Structure 1
Amino acid sequence: MACRRGFPLLRKRYVTMSALSFDAEREAKKIEEFISDFVRGRNVSGIVHGLSGGVDSAVVALLVQRALGTDRQFVLLLPERDSSEAGVTDAKAMCERFGIEYKLLNITQPLEHLGTYSSAPSKLAKFGGGMRFAVKAFPFLSKKGYISNLKGSDSRQFREFIAFYRIKHRMRMVVIYHEAEKRGMAVASCANRTEFEVGFFVKYGDDSGDIAPIKHLYKTQVFALARYLGVPREIIEKKPSPDLFAQVADEEIMGVGYETVDSILALMAEGLGEDEIAERLSIKSSEVRFVSEMKIESEELRTPPASLLG
Structure 2
Amino acid sequence: MQKNNTLQADKITTHIANWLKDYAINAKVSGFVVGISGGVDSAVTSTLCALTGLPTLCVEMPIHQAPSHVSRGREHIEQLKKRFSNVDSIETNLTSVFEMFKSIVPAGDDEKKLHLSLANTRARLRMTTLYYHAGIHSRLVVGTGNKVEDFGVGFYTKYGDGGVDVSPIADLMKSEVFQLAAFLGVPTSILNAAPTDGLFGDDRSDEDQLGASYDELEWAMNAAEDGKAKDFSGREAEVFSIYKRLNYVNQHKMIPIPICKISEDLK
Q: TM-score, normalised by structure 1?
A: 0.77
Number of aligned pairs? 255
Q: How does 1:131-142 map to 2 (within 5 A)?
A: none
1:56 alignment partner in structure 2: 41
Q: Deviations over 1:1-43 (max 9, x none)?
A: xxxxxxxxxxxx523x5xx543111111111111011111100
CA distance in 2: counterparts of 1:116 and 1:220, whole angstroms? 40
Q: 2:246 aligns with which of 289, 294, 297?
A: 294
Q: 2:191 aligns with which of 236, 239, 242?
A: 236
Question: One-letter code of the match for 1:107?
Answer: L
Q: Deviations over 1:215-245 (max 9, x none)?
A: 1111111111101111000011001111123
SS in structure 1 of the partner of residue 177 of structure 2:
helix
2:164 alignment partner in structure 1: 209
Structure 1 position 245 matched with structure 2 position 196: no
Q: Which is worse superposed, 160-169 or 107-116? A: 107-116
Stretches of structure 1 lacking an aligned partner (at least 5 in a row) = 1-12, 121-153
2:220 alignment partner in structure 1: 264
Q: Deviations over 1:264-285 (max 9, x none)?
A: 212322x222126x48xx9532
Q: 1:190 aligns with which of 144, 167, 172?
A: 144
Stretches of structure 2 lacking an aligned partner (at least 5 in a row) = 82-86, 263-267
Question: One-letter code of the match for 1:260?
Answer: E
2:101 alignment partner in structure 1: 114
Structure 1 position 199 matched with structure 2 position 185: no
CA distance in 1: counterparts of 2:50 and 2:42, whole angstroms? 12
1:77 alignment partner in structure 2: 60
Question: One-letter code of the match for 2:46?
Answer: A
Sort the Cα spacing of 1:297 and 1:47 in 2 relative to 1 into closer, same or farther, 3 A: same
Question: One-letter code of the match for 1:238?
Answer: A
1:5 alignment partner in structure 2: none
CA distance in 2: counterparts of 1:308 and 1:117, whole angstroms? 33
Q: Deviations over 1:96-147 (max 9, x none)?
A: 1221310011101111111169988xxxxxxxxxxxxxxxxxxxxxxxxxxx
Q: 1:96 aligns with which of 58, 78, 81?
A: 78
CA distance in 2: counterparts of 1:250 and 1:14, whole angstroms? 20
Q: Deviations over 1:164-184 (max 9, x none)?
A: 100000000001000100001
SS in structure 2 of the partner of residue 14 of structure 1:
coil
CA distance in 2: counterparts of 1:290 and 1:195, whole angstroms? 13
CA distance in 2: counterparts of 1:175 and 1:45, whole angstroms? 18
SS in structure 2 of the partner of residue 284 of structure 1:
helix
Displacement of 1:263: 1.5
Alignment check: 8 A CA contact 2:44 2:177 kept: yes
Sort the Cα spacing of 1:274 and 1:209 in 2 relative to 1 into closer, same or farther, 3 A: same
Identity score, percent: 23
Question: One-letter code of the match for 2:60?
Answer: L
CA distance in 2: counterparts of 1:186 and 1:290, whole angstroms? 34
Question: One-letter code of the match for 2:8?
Answer: D
Q: RMSD in angstroms over aligned alpha carbons? A: 2.2
Alignment check: 8 A CA contact 2:75 2:187 kept: no
Question: One-letter code of the match for 1:28?
Answer: T
Sort the Cα spacing of 1:248 and 1:118 in 2 relative to 1 into closer, same or farther, 3 A: farther
